[in-house]
Amino acid sequence: MSKGLLITLIVVGVVVVSVLGFISWGSGVYDSAVKLQESVNAEWGDVQAAYQRRADLVPNLVATVKGAAENEKSILVQVTQARAGIVNAKTPEDLEIAGRKINTAINLAFEAYPQIRSTENFQDLQSQLEGTENRINVARQRYNESIKGYNSFIRGFWKRKALSWFGGEEDFSTRKGFEASQSAQDAPQVKF
């Protein structure tokens, strides 16, 4: 083999290895950008899932607590009215009748609803509301963290060049993190 042919083969070999290395580097940048972009999309999906959980859960919790409170209110009204009969009794017979009415009202109340639970239900509601809002906050924070990683990756000079060369028609533009709406500054009101 001649010296000129050997040099040509070495030059061709270096060029081929360089081109393969460049293509490998570019496809690695592209694959990493796609992975980070999908991570951002997944984190946003988690934010949406947390919002949906809140939208599904809160009205049902409020309705449950409201129903239990109404039930207890009617029980307490019956007991209170029966007690009022004792105060208004004029004769021993009236007092006896009022006493039986109050005992009947109390017995019916405890048979129908053996434990008054509205305070416990309200505490559970508060706990669920707090937990739901915490889940939403964590999901938002994770989303913003994934945006930070994605944006940091794609904004590098050589990575931007590689994405423009190897990315084809795909959009690898920077993303904005979660920003609260102006109305989100006002705390939501829970109405009973």
111: which 2 tokens?
Answer: 């048979």
How far is Cα 134 from Cα 75, in angstroms, rounded to an integer? 36
Q: What is the pLDDT of residue 114?
A: 54
**Which of these, 124, 109, 114, 112, lies nearest to 64 by C-alpha position?**
124
Q: What is the pLDDT of residue 79?
A: 67
| Within a domain: 98 | yes
Q: What is the pLDDT of residue 17?
A: 92
| Within a domain: 135 | yes
CATH number of the domain where residue 126 is located: 1.20.1440.20
| Within a domain: 15 | no
| Within a domain: 5 | no
**Which of these, 129, 131, 143, lies nearest to 189 by C-alpha position?**
129
| Within a domain: 16 | no
Domain count, the chain: 1
Chunk the chain into consecutive blocks of 10 residues (it has 192) and report each block's average pLDDT, rounded to whole numbers.
Answer: 85 90 85 87 85 80 75 69 68 73 69 62 78 86 89 85 80 80 68 64
Q: Has this prediction a pTM greater than 0.85?
A: no
How far is Cα 37 from Cα 86, in angstroms, rounded to an integer? 74
95, 89 Cβ separation under 8 angstroms? yes
**Which of these, 104, 99, 106, 69, lies nearest to 84 by C-alpha position?**
99
Q: What is the pLDDT of residue 83?
A: 65
